[in-house]
């Protein structure tokens, strides 16, 4: 199987609207800070559930350069049930406060239309839905609020174990799913410049499948919508490199470099400061290099990312 290792140059400018802001993502990615208000997050294990710690973490992420904050009240994986009211109580008040305190767009990480609508009313401008818009009211709520949406591929449903996912062609199936989600969003009144795609690494994928999707970022970035990468500290990095959760910082930064070079224009991360440095270097390269260097590979930043990840290509 061939590798997907060339640096991606868009054939036309890439724009995204988040609330009143319009971003040119042609050469520069946005870094989104992960801000969980959960008791069982796979990474922070509930470290920021208490309000003081939550707002301290928000201040840190903004200080480090986060272009946006993504607030979640329920983790994606299996765990104790979180009711609709519990999720509302966890995220709506803090989103209202974040909107008052910080001049950055706020995203809500939820697959419930009712929670998304309440958060849009509180000031959130993005609905990050890992279910692929399974809730039939989600897109209408986003359209009514003028919010942007993230369409994410998932094989089953959030919170449902999927230990042995099978695909005949994982990249093609993810591509079809995401295009169908984008079409549904636009038919529901969400403008094209408000639609973001996410391949859903680790969501119903093996480590090898997630890696292949990361390597195939250029193909997904060419679908006509900004592509979001959410690989920070993910399980597939740990499996590939034999790393525990607390040991994946360098691998996460390498995956961000590989993703941005491949066309990802939003990167959702825990380490904002480190990712901003990676992003800024790649943006400088993208803004200054002639387009005939589109084949740049082993001599450029991609080689460093591939070396850290150990991705010589799946065969």
Where in the sequence numbering do the catalytic residues fall? 234, 268
Backbone φ and ψ for 21, nearest 5 degrees, come out as -100, 140
Burial status of residue 249 (CB atoms within 10 A of its CB: 0-12, 13-18, 19 or more): middle
The token pair at 59 is 């201040």
Under 8 Å between Cβ of 86 and 49: no
Q: Which residues contact 198 (CB under 8 A, 6 or more apart)?
A: 130, 150, 151, 152, 153, 178, 227, 228, 229, 230
User: How far, in Å, CA of 65 to CA of 271, rounded?
Assistant: 10
- Degrees to nearest 5, angle at CA 231 with 159 and 102: 90
Distance, CA of 247 to CA of 100 (rounded, Å): 35
């Amino acid at each position: 199987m061939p590798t997907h290792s060339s640096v991606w140059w868009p054939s036309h400018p890439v724009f995204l609207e988040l609330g009143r802001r319009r971003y040119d993502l042609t050469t520069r990615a946005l870094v989104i800070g992960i801000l969980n208000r959960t008791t069982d997050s796979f990474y922070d294990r509930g470290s920021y559930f208490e309000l003081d710690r939550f707002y301290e973490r928000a201040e840190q992420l903004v200080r480090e350069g986060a272009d946006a904050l993504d607030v979640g009240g329920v983790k994606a994986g299996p765990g104790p049930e979180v009711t609709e009211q519990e999720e509302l109580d966890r995220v709506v008040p803090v989103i209202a406060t974040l909107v008052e305190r910080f001049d950055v767009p706020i995203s809500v990480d939820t697959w419930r239309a009712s929670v998304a609508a309440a958060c849009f009313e509180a000031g959130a401008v993005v609905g990050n839905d890992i279910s692929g818009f399974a809730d039939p009211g989600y897109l209408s709520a986003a359209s009514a609020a003028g919010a942007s949406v993230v369409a994410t591929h998932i094989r089953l449903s959030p919170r449902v174990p999927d230990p042995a996912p099978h695909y005949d062609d994982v990249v093609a199936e993810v591509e079809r799913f995401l295009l169908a989600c984008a079409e549904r969003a636009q038919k529901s009144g969400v403008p094209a410049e408000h639609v973001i795609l996410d391949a859903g690494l680790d969501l119903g994928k093996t480590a090898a499948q997630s890696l292949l999707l990361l390597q195939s970022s250029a193909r997904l970035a060419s679908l006509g919508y900004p592509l979001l990468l959410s690989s920070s500290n993910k399980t597939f990095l740990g499996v590939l490199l034999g790393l525990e959760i607390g040991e994946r910082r360098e691998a996460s930064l390498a995956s961000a470099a590989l993703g941005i070079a491949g066309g990802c224009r939003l990167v959702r991360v825990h380490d904002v400061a480190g990712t901003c440095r990676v992003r800024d270097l790649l943006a400088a390269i993208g803004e200054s290099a002639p387009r005939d260097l589109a084949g740049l590979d082993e001599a450029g930043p991609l080689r460093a990312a591939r070396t850290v990840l150990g991705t010589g290509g799946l065969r």
